[in-house]
Amino acid sequence: MRTQIAKQHTEVSKASNRPFTFQRRSLRAMLAFTAFVCLCAGSAIAQVKQMGSLTSLTVKDHPALDYVNAKAMPLPSSNSQLDYVQGMLQALTSSIDLGPSGGSEPSQGTGLQSPVFLGTPAKQEGGILPPDWGTNKHPFTTARADLYNHATNTYYPYRAAGKLFFKIGASTYVCSASMIKPGIVVTAAHCVANYGQKQFYTGWQFTPGYRNGAAPYGVWGATNVYVLTKYYDGTDACYQYGVICPDDVAVIVLNGTPGNSTGWFGYWYGGGFTSTGLAQITQLGYPVGLDNGAYMERNDSQGFKNATYSNNTIIGSNMDGGSSGGPWIENFGLPSVLTGETNGVFSSKNVVVGVTSWGYVSTAPKEQGAAPFTSGNINTLITTACSVYPGQC
């Protein structure tokens, strides 16, 4: 039944031009029944557990995944087309309360590899060339995360990001994710669970530094996943139901510690932005519309927090489906040695402050949004996961 319903869901998504969120809502009755089956089946009762403000899934099923024909996870899409100029004016003139701040430091790891070849991704239809801005006039640069004649996927900090495979019904999908602790990755909640349906997906496998079918640091399955319960049950305070939400964030505990080799990013919540919510963001991910999702892509843009849009951060970007869950990083790259110079106010290096959460139905605006990292989501997720799995932290 779960496989059949997921198949119907996929077919409807392909056949319709409506936003993904509305496709999900039109199938709410079927999916609610699916969740009922999932929660009441014998083995699933022990898998799903509520822990305070979080809901976790202990992963027991490890289905075979189709790495070659994996589909891009549809990026939650908004019909709204906020004018960039007005959004920037709001950010420049309004003070935003980011809440308590804190986080953790990154590590570059040892760089030791354990390569696996998964097969070159099959050609997928669609995709557009990356211009410098869209109709919302928000400047950005999107390009392959490589240098000419030199791949960067095995160099820190790039190698801490990777491709995330998982299953919805019988089909394999892809999102993006990044190491946030030696054995924990951060991604979008919509890559883990179906918003408001009390339904987890299955079979997550993370491939750090993925490049055109090659997994240089191996393939790492999930042991447990954590999301905010209000995302899981659909009570999050979303500006647009299931799309523009304050808590589209999840962490996955892996069955090992690849971060000891790849390194990991730090993370920061409640800070890293000016008092009006401005920051320079580097975004990494595997959008299928660019290079067929075979290579890591990098995007750089100034971001601003939008109080109307559930305090989500907005950047200019040309990424699309498959980029979901990819890290939004501040102060990305190899730190400079200072000589007669000082750092700015926020000097923490290679820290994730959000993950790719949504885009627009139209390809014209060239903007994406990320739920804010707060003490109530990312800090609670990491703290809880590390208390249960201290060896992964």
Domain positions in the chain are 2-337+344-392
At 20 the pLDDT is 35
Which DSSP letter does residue 99 get? -
Distances (CA, A) of 284 to 22, 36, 197, 350: 27, 36, 29, 12
Phi-psi region of 81 (alpha: psi -120 to 50; beta: other; left: phi over 0): beta
Task: Give the CATH class of 2-337+344-392.
Answer: mainly beta
The per-residue pLDDT for 134 is 58
**What are 141-161's pLDDT values in tens digits?**
898 999 998 999 999 999 999
DSSP string, 189-209: GGGTEETTTTEE-EEEEEEET
Q: Please identify every stretch of the chain with a pLDDT value under 50, giving residue numbers as ranges.
A: 1-46, 126-131
Report d(CA 52, CA 352) in Å as an integer. Answer: 24
CA gap 248, 196 in Å, rounded: 12
| Burial zone of 40 (CB within 10 Å; 0-12 exposed, 13-18 middle, 19+ buried) | exposed
Structure tokens that stand for 43 in this block: 């083995």
pLDDT at 128: 39
Q: What is the pLDDT of residue 6?
A: 36
Radius of gyration in angstroms for the set of CA atoms belonging to the chain, rounded to a whole number: 19
- The first and second tokens of residue 385, run together, are 């996961």
